[in-house]
Amino acid sequence: MTFNIGTNILNFELRYGVGLDIEFCDSRPIWANEPDSGKLIPMWFEGVAIAIPFFLICYGRIGDFNEDEK
């Protein structure tokens, strides 16, 4: 489940882990759907990822690897 908050996203995902972890990411690779075509493309995530038992909560921004070329 993903929510847009201004230019950032808040995302909740299910996971199979039970540990606790906080990660501050500056270039974590992710897969996302391209808005125009729905095609799956690689993107980067910059923000914080909090892993709690059975859930991953991410807050930050995402971007295209090719955005510097445009």
The residue extents of the domains of the chain are 2-64
Q: For residue 53, what are its two tokens?
A: 């038992």
Provide the pLDDT for residue 11.
92
Tell me what percent of the residues of the chain surpass a pLDDT of 70.
93
Give pLDDT tens digits for 26-52. Answer: 988 888 877 788 788 888 999 999 999
Q: What is the mean pLDDT of the chain?
A: 87
CA distances from 38 to 31, 33, 35, 62, 68 (A): 12, 5, 6, 16, 21
pLDDT at 8: 92
How much is the pTM? 0.78
Q: How many CB atoms neighbour CB 64 within 10 A?
A: 14
Q: 45 near 28, Cβ under 8 Å?
A: yes
